[in-house]
Structure 1
Amino acid sequence: MKKFYLKYVLIAFVICSFILPKTMEVDAAANIENKNLQIYSEAVVLIDADSGEVLYEKNSKEKLPPASITKIATAIYAIEKGNINDLVTVSENARNVDGTRVYLEAGEQVPLKKLIQGLVINSGNDAGVAIAEHLSGSVEQFTEDFNEFLQQEVGVENTHFSNPHGLHEPDHLTTAEDMAKITQYAIQNQTFRDIFQTSELKWDGESWDTTLINHHEMVRDKEYEGIAGGKNGFVQEAGFTLVTTAERKNISLIAVTLNSMYSQQSYDDTITLLDYGFEHFETDLVLKNEKFTDGFDHSFLVTEETSFTKRKGETIEKEVSPSGELIVKGEDQRIIKEVELDQVENKVKNEQMKSEIVTNEEVVNDKKEDLHLSIIVPTAVIIGLFISLLFYFQVRKI
């Protein structure tokens, strides 16, 4: 019985010896820096806007109400799925929505782009409803279309939005991680970026003429170096929420904070995150069509330009894995990035091999003979051994 248990202990040990190093490798890749920052918001995340690498997180997968930062998602959806030059007729339903507004009037016709600007810059809930009804016919249908877009095209995993503006509903939830992903997707669009970084905009409406002032203090004041855009939010159930983008010479960052107790707390946490990112990290590139060679002189090309994040000033190594992927490693041998490669075929050798196979019948016949031998010889040996064993047991009986 002891031998039986010992056998399974040995098997478990062997399995663990293969699994554990890989697990540790993934953890090392995920945690570029491990530093405890003084953060007060319930959930935060800081990512490299180009590579998507998570540089710092706290409860980043926790589902929480987002309040008006929902409008980032509504804005990019409207830009991509609508025609920004369309005239939108405002409904009574849109005109009467609760919360922050741009004071649209029922029957007023407003260009879709202007509604998106009012939605993002002044956080107009009425603009959000008008957009939803224009794109999908109703807010209910919009939420179905909207969530499908976010899941299938943006790639969120823990988000469900019940409206286009962020007013509280029990199942209107997201995560810091998903909001960073939505923002990363959105800022690839130039129209969105232009609106996202607008600090003020003249507004001529049917019943309201004013200058819209961006509700995000860091975008409005532009006192923080490199600030590139942002959106804030607040409802009682969500606390204060904030999404901020900033860029400097060597890196672009996205910071998300959810459920801060005070407005200033959300800004303090954001500055802490951005300072940390700019101080410690930089973005580098593996260029498209960059060539690499493995240990067997096989050549490979990078299929597309790929960003990766490294520690500031860090020397990195690039090597081709046995499976044909480019592995980017840091100074401590942690894996920073794995990049897909295409193997470069040696066309001259391939053509020569094809020619020899087609034209040289002797070679073809020799290969056939070798194939027969490779089957016949082992078979004959096995049969011989079988006959010998039968003979041996017969002799023992005698």
Structure 2
Amino acid sequence: MKLKFQVLSMVIIMFIALSSIVTAKEKKIQAPKLNSHAAVVIDQNSGRILYGKNDNKILAMASTTKIITAIVAIENGKLTDQVTVSKKAASINGSSAGLKEGEKVSLEELIYGLMMKSGNDAAIAIAEHIGDGKVENFIKLMNHKALELGLYNTHFVTPHGLDADTHHTTARDLAKATAYALKNKVFQKVSACKEISSGESGAFNKSYNNINKFLFRLPDADGVKTGYTGNAGKCLVASVTHQYGRYIAVTLNSGDRWKDCENLVNYAKENFSHIKIETDSLNILKSRVLGGEEKYLQSTIDKEIYLPVLKGEENNIKTEVQIPSVINSPVYKNDHIGNLLIYVNDKLETTFPFISNKNIENKIYNKAM
């Protein structure tokens, strides 16, 4: 879409109407007890950080790397693709999915082996397949995805996460990456899987069981990935579903990663309530479309928004609508038109996109055709 924000108008700041308030218990908030160098827990839908400890500190990430490896593979390959395992893949050290040189495996099975068994061999096989035979090409895709997601403190050197110079991330970046990946239905299914022997691509060469003990620790746990190297220590990215979405917890270099992530999730559950952000009155806003077959475009927010807040914060929420008064045609349905900014205590906490509700073609171009 050719979109010019020529005039930023229709900026509206208003106090928000609130509904569906779930009251948090009145008590003094205590930080979660953690035995980790860095940690964070966020709300997936809003991206709001609910608690952080050294969450912007750059650290090694071990096999939590494979979260990005998996989502890049899912987005750039087909699950039914057949991959021949190379000698390089089969001989990589560290954790393994048990692949053999020359073995033919579906990309789907490789992704399960990657995530459930933390297979370094699967990581190399995936990288070679998606990267047209070169792991380096796949690493470029991983780093491009990191930039696309705004993971500015993250850099990848390998697809598996074995210790390497300049291969690093932060707890906050990992949480953001996971929030994105868990929007993908295939990634969701793989992340939550406890055991499997077949999939969309047919019967697998072998059966897999998940080494992520967190899946068995809490009833609503649905992922995500363990990690360990000598430099990174024990790491874990965990996900727990709740009524309004998911909590995503990350702990890096932890003395007890299972307990740390459980404590982070419990902290979020015990101290935050979810309020609904009313958006109906915002879905009438329009922009002038230059050169379009229609003169005006209506932008909408296409989902309900629930924001986690501490007790008392519900009275200190403001929103700001940023939609251009004029845009160029053509415009296509679901194009990103503007943003709804949500502030808590005058601090920007999250942003949701306004999208176009229809296609509007360029009338001059269509006539020329």
Structure 1 and Structure 2 fold alike (TM over 0.5): yes
1:180 aligns with 175
Match of 1:228 in 2: 222
Residue 253 of structure 2 is aligned to residue 255 of structure 1: no
What's the offset of the Cα at 1:317?
A: 7.0
Q: Which has the higher helix share?
A: 1
Structure 2 distance, partners of 1:82, 1:252, is 27
1:143 corresponds to 2:111: no
Distance 1:313 1:125, change over 3 A: same
Taking the aligned partners of 2:283 and 2:130, their CA distance within structure 1 comes to 48
> 8 Å contact 1:288–1:304 — kept in the other structure?
no
Matched, 1:64 2:59: yes
Q: Say if 2:307 is the partner of 1:308.
A: yes
Match of 1:380 in 2: none
* Larger strand percent: 2
Match in the other structure for 2:43: 48
Q: Please say which of residues 51-60 and 225-234 is displaced more in the overlay.
A: 225-234
Q: Classify 1:335/1:164 alpha carbon distance in 2 versus 1 (closer, same or farther; 3 Å).
A: closer
Output aligned runs, 1:206-217, within 5 Å: 211-217=207-213
Structure 2 equivalent of residue 269 of structure 1: 260
> Structure 1 residues 319, 174: closer, same or farther in 2, change over 3 A?
closer
Structure 1 position 107 matched with structure 2 position 102: yes
Quote the Cα distance in structure 2 between the aligned partners of 1:289 and 1:80.
Answer: 33
Q: Deviations over 1:20-42 (max 9, x none)?
A: xxxxxxxxxxxxx9743322200
Give the unaligned 5+ runs of structure 1.
1-32, 294-299, 343-398
Work out whether residues 287 and 302 of structure 1, in 8 Å CA contact, stay in contact via their aligned partners in 2: no
Per-residue deviation, residues 230-258 of structure 1 (Å, max 9, x unmatched): 21111111100000000122452000000
Q: Which residue of 2 aligns with 1:199?
A: 194
Give, in whole Å, the separation in 2 of the partners of 1:155 and 1:201. 33
Residue 133 (structure 1) aligned with residue 128 (structure 2): yes
1: CA distance, partners of 2:275 / 2:317? 12
The separation in 1 between residues aligned to 2:187 and 2:103, in whole angstroms, is 24
TM-score (norm 1): 0.66
Partner Cα separation in structure 2 for residue 326 and residue 244 of structure 1: 28
CA shift in 2, pair 1:281/1:301, >3 Å: farther
Q: 1:25 corresponds to which residue?
A: none
Given that 2:56 and 2:170 are in contact with CA atoms closer than 8 Å, whether structure 1 keeps it comes out as yes
Confirm whether residue 36 of structure 1 aligns to residue 38 of structure 2. Answer: no
Contact 1:200–1:213 (Cα < 8 Å) also in 2 = yes
**Counterpart position of 1:245:** 239
**Equivalent residues in 2 for 1:325-364, closer than 5 Å:** none
Tell me by how many angstroms 1:140 deviates. Answer: 1.8
Indicate the SS of the match to 1:290. Answer: helix
Q: Per chain length, whose mean CA-contact separation is higher, i.e. which structure has more relative contact order (CA < 8 Å, sep 6+)?
A: 2
SS in structure 1 of the partner of residue 196 of structure 2: strand
- Aligned-partner Cα distance in 1 for 2:140–2:349: 37
Residues 1:159 and 1:340: Cα distance change in structure 2 (over 3 Å): closer
Q: Does 1:160 align with 2:186?
A: no
C-alpha change, 1:302 and 1:64, in structure 2 (3 Å) is: same
Contact 1:45-1:255 within 8 A present in 2 as well:
yes
Rg larger in 1 or in 2? 1
Which ranges of 4 or more aligned residues in structure 1 deviate by more than 3 Å?
208-211, 282-293, 300-307, 312-330, 332-342
The residue matched to 1:42 in structure 2 has which SS?
Answer: strand
Q: Distance in 2 between matches of 1:96 and 1:321?
A: 54
Conserved 8 A contact 1:251-1:281: no
Aligned equivalent of 1:376: none
Q: Report Cα offsets for 1:285-338 as digits up to 9, x if no partner.
A: 435543499xxxxxx9854544422236975577676989977676x7877667
How far is the alpha carbon of 1:209 from its aligned partner?
6.9
Cα distance per residue 1:104-163 (max 9 Å; x no partner): 1111111101100000001111000000000112112221222112212x2211001111
CA distance in 2, matches of 1:169, 1:316: 47
With normalisation by structure 2, the TM-score equals 0.71
Amino acid at match of 2:264: L
- Pair 1:171-2:169 in alignment: no
The whole-number CA distance in structure 2 between the counterparts of 1:101 and 1:176 is 25
In the superposition, relative to structure 1, how do residues 290 and 113 fare at CA in structure 2: closer, same or farther (>3 Å)?
A: farther
Q: Give, in whole Å, the separation in 2 of the partners of 1:337 and 1:96.
A: 44
Shift of 1:65: 0.7
Shift in CA distance, 337/111, structure 1 to aligned 2, threshold 3 Å: closer
Q: What's the secondary structure of 2:183's corresponding residue?
A: coil
* 3-state SS of paired residue (2:110): helix
- Secondary structure at the residue paired with 1:224? coil
- C-alpha deviations, 1:31-83, integer Å up to 9, x for none? xx974332220000100011000000011111111111111110001000111
Matched pairs, number: 295
Correspondent of 1:283 among 274, 291, 296: 274
8 Å CA contact 1:319, 1:326 repeated in 2: no
Q: CA RMSD in A?
A: 3.3
Amino acid at match of 1:308: L
**Stretches of structure 2 lacking an aligned partner (at least 5 in a row):** 1-27, 285-297, 324-338, 356-369
Given residue 262 of structure 2, which amino acid in structure 1 is its aligned partner?
I
Distance across 1 between alignment mates of 2:78 and 2:150: 23
